[in-house]
Amino acid sequence: MQPPPSPCARLIAALPDSLDGHERRETRPRPDATAAWGDPPIVLRCGVGVPAAYRPTSQLFTVNGVDWFSEELSAGYLFTTIGRRPGVELSVPDDYRPEINPLADLSVVLARELPAATATRSTGPAPTTPAGPPAPGTPAPRRSTPAGTSTSG
């Protein structure tokens, strides 16, 4: 008997074939933890940690019940879930402006497949491991100060 699939494998299997009008494409080396759509690719990685720039007072975007932290990259944005285990990040190149659009489709699936951790925004994210290296093809982050603060508590 095989063990049940990991949360990331379940999420990847549940992801849509099309994201914001862009077709899904093959990923390597970890198809059980990554997905991509379009060219240049919109890249999803599952199993990431909390971004180093995240603070409990950081501004978050809540889309369909999923909290996202955004970081501006040299050529797009990197969005990372906060309060979900495992963590998920989505890199969206500038070619897909507004870069936040793919979050609407993904958040519905994420809310269903990766329930919120017990931590709340006011106490910070659930503990996770630090984020690993960026997915291949992900633009380098721009070095800037963290954006704004959250007005919700």
DSSP string, 63-108: ETTEEEEEEEETTEEEEEEESBSSEEEEEEEGGGSSTTTHHHHHHH
Phi, psi of 37 (to 5 degrees): -140, 145
Residues of the chain with pLDDT under 50: 119-132, 142-153
Q: What are phi and psi of 116, to 5 degrees?
A: -60, 145
Torsion of CA 13, 11, 26, 34, to 10 degrees: -150
| pLDDT, tens digit, 9 for 90 and up, residues 104-145 | 999 999 999 998 985 444 334 444 444 445 555 555 554 444
**Is the CB of residue 48 less than 8 Å from the CB of residue 30?**
no
